[in-house]
Amino acid sequence: MDNKNYERWAEVVKTLGHPDRLRIIETLIQDERSVNSICGFLDLPQPKVSQHLALLRSRGIVQDQRCGCHVKYCIKSRWIEEMMRLMREAKVT
């Protein structure tokens, strides 16, 4: 395996290494949402959610979709859903 693959995987794992980002991902797996919707659903401040979304977007985990003057976020690739499902099933303690 090429070392570049391991470097990319490590970046994704680091990105997922924050509980709020995992909560945001779980929320977006359920449905696409705007920043304000995520803030209300998770009771997190808007600047914090926006920063997390920017990082998740830069790593190719989420994508934004413009709907007029609104922006909604969704999961970009379904592999993240499978990974989250595996972590839920593992019941890591």
Which phi and psi angles does 67 have, rounded to 5°? -125, 90
Tokens of 75: 């999961």
Domain that residue 25 falls in: 3-90
Give SS3 for 62.
Answer: strand
CA dist 67 → 22, 41, 63, 71 (Å): 25, 20, 13, 6
CATH number of the domain within which 63 lies? 1.10.10.10
pTM: 0.89
**pLDDT score of 69:** 86
Tens of each residue's pLDDT in the chain, 93 residues = 788 889 988 998 999 999 999 999 999 999 999 999 999 999 999 999 999 999 999 999 999 999 888 899 999 988 999 999 998 888 766
**Alpha helices in the chain, H assignment, sequence order:** 3-15, 19-30, 35-42, 46-58, 79-90
Number of domains within the chain: 1
CB atoms within 10 A of CB 53: 20
**pLDDT score of 49:** 97
**pLDDT score of 68:** 84
Give SS3 for 68.
Answer: coil
